[in-house]
Structure 1
Amino acid sequence: MKRIIQLSAFFSIALLTVLAVWYFSDHQKQDDLAQDGLQAHMDEVFAEDITYTVSMFMDKMEDQLIRWSQHHTKEKDLSGLQEELHDHPHFHGFAVVHASGETTKVGNVTENPVDKLTKEKKEGVYISEPYVEKGTQKLLMGTKDGDDWCIGEMDLSFVSTFVKDLAVITGENGQFFLGASNMALDFDAQETEAPYVKKRIPELDWDVFVHSEPTIEPDAPYREGEVVVRLNEGNEGKELAKIHGVSLLDEEGRDCVFRDRTKNRTTEQLVAEFAQDPAVMFAEPNYSVEKQTSFHKKRSHPALDYKPRLIEPQQEGTTPNDELYDPYQWNLEQITVEEGWQITSGNEEIPIAIIDSGVDPEHVDLEDKIIGGYNAFENNENYYDEHGHGTHVAGVAAAVTNNVEGIAGVSWTNPILAVKALDANAEGNSFSIADAIRWSVDNGARVINMSLGDSHDSEVMRDAIRYAYEQDVVLIAASGNEAVETPMYPAAYPEVFTVAALDPDGQHAQFSNFGEHVDVSAPGEHIPSTYVGNEYVAMSGTSMASPHVAGLAGLILSINPELSNEEVYDIMRNSCNDIGDSGFDIYTGHGIINVTNAIKLANGQ
């Protein structure tokens, strides 16, 4: 049969361009069959995440089209829409085709658009087949208002960017139109068989195809030629750098990162050399650290009659009006949030630090929640997220809620400290994580979320964790996505509250790490949240499970700010719904978090 050229990227649970890829050099080895099974499952989860993301994107475009059709169809001059088009860059133009045949439009809309609306997406909403015009992949969407057609021309660039070279989407006729650029020219969707995962995007008749190859593990689990050193009192990093012929890359207190200028010494040689220096308390490698369904039908849209341009949370009721809450955020229903929100929706005095790849400071669902940030690589406030992972994590914990826009966060009110300790590839090191933890504590964080990890026990990171714990900070970390019992750090530190992932059926997610150190479980598959560029995507992984618990910790402290971190831990464990084996088990910990039970317990109920 005709074959697709295999995709080179490995999806670790659908976190876009290898988001949450937890590969470590000494992780527990599994037999080939088990590895193949896990990889196939990861491909399937990623394909489902794509279907979620595309469906959310199309629903948001549909909502916007309906709003425009309700407010502007009677106007002959649509120039007032020009600014709104600018605010919605996925639409190139909007047109009203009147019954008389006269067309008024703003922006760019292709010729004869009504003739191209050949497919009914849902009752009253029609779409065209995808097409390419001037090198841009586009789609028309239209709805009727009486005898007039209201039609928007959509740019599919975001969908294409999300899919990138990781998958391929075909239309109803089976022709390739979005996704991997390395597909064979003779691609035939009808002949594609396993190991390619195929998923259908509901209401569009589009198919997603995914297949990945195993990750090639790095030769070393640390930055070659670098060493982390803690100096004894009275010694200086610059002086030590001269003595050992190294460059001082970074310094925080008595901790230093050195790099060999000669490039002749290995990391092991540098560690051994510094360990013998009486000015040094300890030396270690600079370990690498990396980030870690059921389909809901489209809801009706009563909230679309009016949408405020200024995003101001509306504190009415406990069911938020965010446009993606009802149809897509199954995860919040699974942890029973709504009754708890009647007691508290958060507290502006209880910040949650997101130590990750940064946060998009201009995202409409996050910008009003960020009260400060830090870049652990540059030692400045440039916390912009170049990757997307941190922005997604931040939204799960604390997106602006009940503002008609996007998603709801677990916490409505708790502010965010955006701390960048992973780079554009969502990769960091033990020193950057330690620096980020200390900055978060010193700048008022009451809760720290760490959706990242490594299998190496770093002394510099351990000390930062102890520092935060001693300052009574609640420390939350993801267990990891390798389906192994191998301890991951910081999750395995006793001071850290560890979170495993569940699937939409409330079962232990196949990819989620396990062990005696797992405290609780939270939703971790197909989680809708914020993404860079004012977007929303679905991602999966223990990276997504962890911020559910960080948001809950923020709510608990909002009820009673005097609680210690251990008291918060006990409340979260004791309020869980037991799942899996009776009582504590190594796969789900004490069970799935129950937000309402936890808030009531914190409130003395």
Structure 2
Amino acid sequence: MILAALVMGAGSVMPAAAETDPPDYLTPMKAQQMWKVADGSGITVAVVDSGFKKVPGVPSESVLPGVSVMSPPVEHPDKKYPAHDDADGHGTTMTAAIVGDGSGGAPQGLAPGAKVMPVRTSIGMPLAFAAGAEGAEGIRYAADHGARIINVSWGDHYAFKKLKAAVQYAQSKGALVFAAMGNQGEGNNSTNLIARVPGVIGVGAVDEKAKALKLSSHGPDTDLSAYGGKARIRCPENRGWCVADGGTSYATALASASAALVWSAHPDWTAHQVARVLIETAGAPEDGSRRSDWIGYGVARPRMVLLEKAGNPGAPDVDPLAPAPTNTPGPVPVPSQKAGARAEAAVAEAGPSWQWLALGIVVAAGLGLAGTLIIKRRRS
């Protein structure tokens, strides 16, 4: 088994000069106008990641106590880790992208009225090999403690069975799960297996012109996309704010925030209904196709739901991405885009601001993981 390291690119230290600021993606999204309708209030977004550290630009009142599910080292089995700490900065960045206030070099969060529940794993720590199983535990915790949206801006192959079961448990509790597709678009294009679980929204990344980023991993599990270009992220070791590509990590946080806005405006909707309207109102691929492997059904546009009143929530208990029922007799069709899916190669070093947890599979048969890869759904 090969372990791929967690990496965090240096980016560039957050400058004071306005001309070097990252692109403004909130204005075209009409964020200010949306916030007059809904700002995420009443919605808890669990960020299962590297934790959260109090930093300039993220109001303390926007972050719940949360929990740490980090495994203690063997030599200190009783060691406890606080949820409000983050040696890496990745989880802090995701939190800021959702609820930041834009001060002190931080990004302005897309859903500033929401609450973030930090769930700290070993991402970015020496015991990072345990983060997949910890993440599964954290997803269950989030579902049991009121999180309506669960943000997973990382991927893991080794603990996929546990993660799949945890995601399905969270879904049974009514939670909506967003998973980053990964940042291997120009490499081996390894994609996040979590995105293959039915009902999970796989998120790709686009730039300020809504063009797919070349670094964005892509495939039939891409459902939505969001901005993932140059953004304010935490510098290495969580030291200050830097500017670098946010990648699919950042895009996933924005997709989660988009869902928080919609759910805040329609608190009686189910996870399926929130997902359905986001998919229906997404900015579709430019070639006129219904979806593409790069951006899915399109770029998330919560303004269409909040300001234009677009999107039909539909049935509360039907996954909008599930195969459409058919009355045609005969054998069940095989989902061609996923038939014969095999275990992905271990994810290697990903991109400037991407934390991709790859706890490895290369010898899939030896680990018995090939059989865990499931068909998520058949695309129409």
- Distance verdict in 2 for CA 1:339–1:512, change over 3 Å: same
- Distance verdict in 2 for CA 1:363–1:603, change over 3 Å: farther
CA distance in 2, matches of 1:331, 1:504: 6
> What do residues 309-344 of structure 1 show as CA deviations (whole Å, max 9, x unaligned)?
xxxxxxxxxxxxxxxxxx535222343423222211
Match of 2:197 among 493, 496, 502: 493
Q: Which has the larger radius of gyration?
A: 1
Q: TM-score, normalization: structure 1?
A: 0.45
C-alpha displacement of 1:371? 1.3
Which residue matches 1:94?
A: none
1:539 counterpart = 2:233 = no
C-alpha displacement of 1:499? 0.6
- Distance verdict in 2 for CA 1:439–1:374, change over 3 Å: same
C-alpha displacement of 1:417? 0.5
C-alpha displacement of 1:505? 3.1
> What do residues 500-531 of structure 1 show as CA deviations (whole Å, max 9, x unaligned)?
01123321111111111111111112111456
* Structure 1: gaps of 5 or more residues: 1-11, 20-45, 60-295, 299-326
CA distance in 2, matches of 1:398, 1:509: 24
- Distance verdict in 2 for CA 1:393–1:406, change over 3 Å: closer
Contact (CA 8 Å) 1:340, 1:597: kept in 2 or not? no
1:397 counterpart = 2:85 = no
Which residue matches 2:33?
A: 339
- Distance verdict in 2 for CA 1:580–1:514, change over 3 Å: farther
Report matched runs for 1:76-91 at 5 Å.
none
- Distance verdict in 2 for CA 1:406–1:433, change over 3 Å: closer
CA distance in 2, matches of 1:378, 1:457: 15
Contact (CA 8 Å) 2:86, 2:92: kept in 1 or not? yes
Question: Which range is displaced more, 335-344 or 462-471?
Answer: 335-344
Contact (CA 8 Å) 1:494, 1:517: kept in 2 or not? no
Q: Secondary structure at the match of 1:504?
A: coil
Contact (CA 8 Å) 1:355, 1:419: kept in 2 or not? yes
Q: Secondary structure at the match of 1:459?
A: helix
CA distance in 2, matches of 1:480, 1:405: 26
Which residue matches 2:353?
A: none
Q: Secondary structure at the match of 2:16?
A: helix
Contact (CA 8 Å) 2:277, 2:311: kept in 1 or not? no
C-alpha displacement of 1:603? 8.4
> What do residues 418-440 of structure 1 show as CA deviations (whole Å, max 9, x unaligned)?
11123334934331111010111
Identity %: 22
> What do residues 161-193 of structure 1 show as CA deviations (whole Å, max 9, x unaligned)?
xxxxxxxxxxxxxxxxxxxxxxxxxxxxxxxxx
Q: Secondary structure at the match of 2:205?
A: strand
Structure 1 ranges of 4+ moved more than 6 A: 601-605
Which residue matches 1:297?
A: 19
Q: What do you get for the CA RMSD once the two structures are aligned?
A: 2.9
Q: Secondary structure at the match of 1:371?
A: coil
Q: Which has the higher contact order (CA 8 A, sep 6+)?
A: 2
Letter aligned with residue 453 of structure 1: G
1:585 counterpart = 2:292 = yes
1:350 counterpart = 2:43 = yes
Q: Secondary structure at the match of 2:276?
A: helix
Report matched runs for 1:566-605 at 5 Å.
566-582=272-288, 583-600=290-307
Letter aligned with residue 505 of structure 1: K
CA distance in 1, matches of 2:217, 2:172: 27
1:553 counterpart = 2:271 = no
- Distance verdict in 2 for CA 1:366–1:489, change over 3 Å: farther
- Report which of the two has the higher share of strand: 1
C-alpha displacement of 1:458? 2.0
1:367 counterpart = 2:48 = no
Q: Secondary structure at the match of 1:476?
A: strand
Contact (CA 8 Å) 1:454, 1:489: kept in 2 or not? yes
1:18 counterpart = 2:7 = yes
1:57 counterpart = 2:57 = no
CA distance in 2, matches of 1:486, 1:385: 26
CA distance in 2, matches of 1:457, 1:487: 15
Q: Secondary structure at the match of 1:358?
A: coil
1:385 counterpart = 2:86 = yes
* Structure 2: gaps of 5 or more residues: 73-79, 313-380
- Distance verdict in 2 for CA 1:539–1:503, change over 3 Å: same
- Distance verdict in 2 for CA 1:400–1:579, change over 3 Å: same
CA distance in 2, matches of 1:423, 1:404: 25
Contact (CA 8 Å) 1:345, 1:411: kept in 2 or not? yes
Report matched runs for 1:358-507 at 5 Å.
358-378=51-71, 382-383=82-83, 384-400=85-101, 406-425=106-125, 427=128, 428-455=130-157, 458-483=160-185, 486-507=190-211
Contact (CA 8 Å) 1:571, 1:601: kept in 2 or not? no
Q: Secondary structure at the match of 1:452?
A: coil
C-alpha displacement of 1:407? 2.9
Which residue matches 1:330?
A: 24
> What do residues 244-264 of structure 1 show as CA deviations (whole Å, max 9, x unaligned)?
xxxxxxxxxxxxxxxxxxxxx
Contact (CA 8 Å) 1:364, 1:534: kept in 2 or not? no
C-alpha displacement of 1:365? 1.8
Q: TM-score, normalization: structure 2?
A: 0.70
